[in-house]
Amino acid sequence: MLTAYTEEVDEIEDGIAEILEQVDLGALRKNSVGMVVCHCDFVSSGFIAKLRARLPFDLIGMTTMTSATGPELGMYALALTVLTSDEVAFETAMSASLDTDGYEREVRAAYSGCAKKLPGDPELIVALLPFLKRPNGAELHRVLDEACRGAPIWGGVATHTDTGFDRCYVFRNGEREKGCMALLLAHGPISPEFIVVSMPLQNIRENRGKITKSDGCVLKEINGLPTIKYLETIGIVIMENAPVTTPLMVYYEGIPEPVALAIYAVNGDGSISCGGEVTEGASVAVGEITTNSVMASAKEGMDRALGSGRRGGALLLPCISRSIMLDPNHDDELELVAAAVGNGKVLPFMAGYSGGELCPVRDNAGVLRNRFHNFTFSVCVF
């Protein structure tokens, strides 16, 4: 895995030259592909399209709040990673607009068209999703999971420095859109380790309720009570139309570790709309995200990544809420990452912030199950 970084967006040729100085094109193997996280100005200025024209491989990417690789990180920056292999084949694709009633058809078409170009089924899918209210990231993730029949999906949702999210882009090569999904599929001897850590156990309440009624991402009842009423019984009061930073920890049946989900909206019937799908029969607890929990979970995530023994490279897309929670020290988490891997000398890495994390988790039988997360520190390490 090769990495490069620049903060030069105004002088495009200078920025591209800086990238090319860091990427040894002579070291590329038979098959290569690039992934980028960057500030939106790199997309709107045409930088991405011109960079792709100078590289002998496809690029996919998305905008983010902060980009990092090696010792470098910054808000107005671009980070590039290159995966290269003689044995692993890569293909990329970009969907049509998903901001339509036909989004399921478009997700399936993008996946199947890309998968057909591979010599076999993908062992890894990197999916970069647009920031949409409808369909949301969890709904897009569900359709992709069905289309790929459970092949491991890792990735995230585009973000931006502006919390209005009006300049969140996903791109492939020179194409850029706010409502499209970019895919990278890999086939061959690749078996990454997937790591997700949301918060330490001490930040999760012990009492759990059982989900007794739900519909997709809408949590209707817990223990037979409307969700809001149940939360009130355990001392949690959530005001309608108020920002919610209370994570729900969902314990899906057959999966030992909980998945953190955000509360997106409180509905008039006492239900809540969540950041991911909630299933009847699962249990749910309430978590608390704090500055200390962000840093502790990042440390645990990097300990797991380094403990895996893999040194080929790491891709990181932690949740944007974690950076916001660290205000005013937004860079603390990614500085911890850089220090843990010796500024990329021990383990090369690229990192950005996501508006929802796509990362498989293992069930009780050790089988990977694709899940959509919020508030989470997410890593794919090779």
Which H/E stretch holds residue 186? Answer: strand 182-187
Nearest to 334 by CA among 306, 360, 302: 302
Confidence at 73, pLDDT banded by 50, 70, 90? very high
Structural contact between residues 228 and 218, judged by C-beta atoms closer than 8 angstroms? no
Residues 6+ apart with CB under 8 A from 272: 218, 219, 227, 228, 238, 263, 264, 265, 266
Confidence at 176, pLDDT banded by 50, 70, 90? confident
**Mean pLDDT (the chain, rounded):** 94
Nearest to 377 by CA among 324, 333, 342, 327: 333
Per-residue confidence (pLDDT) for residue 291, from 0 to 100:
95
Sign of the torsion angle spanned by Cα atoms 329, 332, 333, 334: positive
Mean pLDDT throughout 351-355? Answer: 96
Contacts 24+ apart (CB under 8 A), 252-255: 252/279, 252/282, 252/369, 252/371, 253/279, 253/281, 253/282, 254/363, 254/364, 254/365, 255/361, 255/362, 255/363, 255/364, 255/369, 255/371
> 316: left (phi > 0), else alpha (psi -120 to 50), else beta?
beta
Confidence at 133, pLDDT banded by 50, 70, 90? confident
DSSP secondary structure of 305-335? HHHTT--S-EEE--BHHHHHHTTT-TTHHHH
Cα distance between residue 367 and residue 363, in whole Å: 5
Mean pLDDT throughout 227-235? Answer: 94
Per-residue confidence (pLDDT) for residue 166, from 0 to 100:
74
Cα distance between residue 241 and residue 226, in whole Å: 18
Nearest to 205 by CA among 273, 135, 131, 286: 286
DSSP secondary structure of 189-238? S---EEEEE---GGGB-S--EEEEEEETTEEEEETTEEHHHHHHHTT---
Nearest to 18 by CA among 62, 57, 46, 51: 51
Per-residue confidence (pLDDT) for residue 238, from 0 to 100:
80
Nearest to 230 by CA among 215, 254, 214: 214
Name the token pair of 261.
Answer: 């989900």
pLDDT at 274 exceeding the cut of 80: yes
Confidence at 241, pLDDT banded by 50, 70, 90? low
Per-residue confidence (pLDDT) for residue 243, from 0 to 100:
55
pTM of the model: 0.95
Confidence at 240, pLDDT banded by 50, 70, 90? low
Mean pLDDT throughout 21-43? Answer: 96
- Taking only the tens place, the pLDDT of each residue in 81-104 is 999 999 999 999 999 999 988 999
CA atoms within 13 A on the CB side of 131: 19
Nearest 10 degrees: Cα torsion 185, 190, 195, 196? 20
- Taking only the tens place, the pLDDT of each residue in 301-335 is 999 999 999 999 999 999 999 999 998 999 999 99
Sole residue written with tokens 């790591």: 195
Per-residue confidence (pLDDT) for residue 242, from 0 to 100:
52
Mean pLDDT throughout 127-145? Answer: 95
pLDDT at 244 exceeding the cut of 70: no
The whole-angstrom distance between residue 289's C-alpha and the CA centroid of its chain comes to: 18
